[in-house]
Amino acid sequence: MTGSHGQHGAAMGPGAGELIAVVGAGLVACGYLLAARRLRRRGDTWSPWRDVAFGTGA
Protein backbone atom coordinates (compact mmCIF):
# COMPACT_ATOMS: atom_id res chain seq x y z
CA MET A 1 0.00 0.00 0.00
CA THR A 2 1.42 3.37 -0.94
CA GLY A 3 0.41 6.58 0.72
CA SER A 4 1.08 10.20 -0.03
CA HIS A 5 4.22 10.16 2.12
CA GLY A 6 6.40 8.43 -0.46
CA GLN A 7 6.08 10.85 -3.38
CA HIS A 8 9.29 11.64 -5.19
CA GLY A 9 10.12 15.28 -5.82
CA ALA A 10 7.84 16.62 -3.11
CA ALA A 11 10.66 17.39 -0.67
CA MET A 12 11.41 20.85 -2.08
CA GLY A 13 7.83 22.01 -2.07
CA PRO A 14 6.16 24.48 -4.43
CA GLY A 15 8.12 27.57 -5.25
CA ALA A 16 11.51 26.28 -4.11
CA GLY A 17 12.86 26.11 -7.65
CA GLU A 18 11.82 29.69 -8.32
CA LEU A 19 13.44 30.84 -5.08
CA ILE A 20 16.70 29.12 -5.99
CA ALA A 21 16.64 30.77 -9.44
CA VAL A 22 16.01 34.24 -7.98
CA VAL A 23 18.75 33.89 -5.36
CA GLY A 24 21.17 32.58 -7.99
CA ALA A 25 20.40 35.46 -10.35
CA GLY A 26 20.89 37.92 -7.51
CA LEU A 27 24.28 36.45 -6.67
CA VAL A 28 25.37 36.63 -10.31
CA ALA A 29 24.22 40.25 -10.57
CA CYS A 30 26.08 41.22 -7.39
CA GLY A 31 29.23 39.50 -8.60
CA TYR A 32 29.01 41.30 -11.92
CA LEU A 33 28.53 44.70 -10.32
CA LEU A 34 31.44 44.16 -7.94
CA ALA A 35 33.70 43.11 -10.81
CA ALA A 36 32.67 46.11 -12.91
CA ARG A 37 33.35 48.47 -10.01
CA ARG A 38 36.75 46.90 -9.46
CA LEU A 39 37.65 47.33 -13.13
CA ARG A 40 36.57 50.97 -13.08
CA ARG A 41 38.63 51.68 -9.97
CA ARG A 42 41.63 50.00 -11.59
CA GLY A 43 41.34 52.42 -14.49
CA ASP A 44 40.05 50.06 -17.16
CA THR A 45 37.56 51.52 -19.58
CA TRP A 46 34.20 49.98 -18.92
CA SER A 47 31.30 51.24 -20.96
CA PRO A 48 28.05 51.77 -19.05
CA TRP A 49 26.32 50.12 -22.01
CA ARG A 50 27.92 46.83 -20.95
CA ASP A 51 26.06 47.12 -17.65
CA VAL A 52 22.85 47.87 -19.51
CA ALA A 53 23.36 44.89 -21.82
CA PHE A 54 24.03 42.59 -18.86
CA GLY A 55 21.02 43.90 -16.96
CA THR A 56 18.68 43.35 -19.87
CA GLY A 57 20.05 39.91 -20.61
CA ALA A 58 21.34 40.85 -24.05
Q: What is the residue range of 24's domain?
A: 15-53
Residue 10 placed within a domain: no
Total domain count for the chain? 1
Report the pLDDT value the prediction gives residue 54, as an integer from 0 to 100.
Answer: 87
Residue 32 placed within a domain: yes
Residue 39 placed within a domain: yes
* Exposure b/e, 12-49, CB count within 10 A at least 16 = b: eeeeeeeeeeeeeeeeeeeeeeeebeeeeeeeeeeeee
Residue 21 placed within a domain: yes
Residue 58 placed within a domain: no
Please report which confidence band the pLDDT of residue 57 belongs to, taking 50, 70 and 90 as the band edges.
Answer: confident
pLDDT exceeds 60 at position 4: no
Query: Coil, helix or strand for 58?
Result: coil
**pTM confidence score:** 0.62
Query: Coil, helix or strand for 22?
Result: helix
- Taking only the tens place, the pLDDT of each residue in 22-56 is 999 999 999 998 998 898 899 888 788 888 898 88
Q: What is the mean pLDDT of residues 1-15?
A: 60
Report the pLDDT value the prediction gives residue 28, as an integer from 0 to 100.
Answer: 93
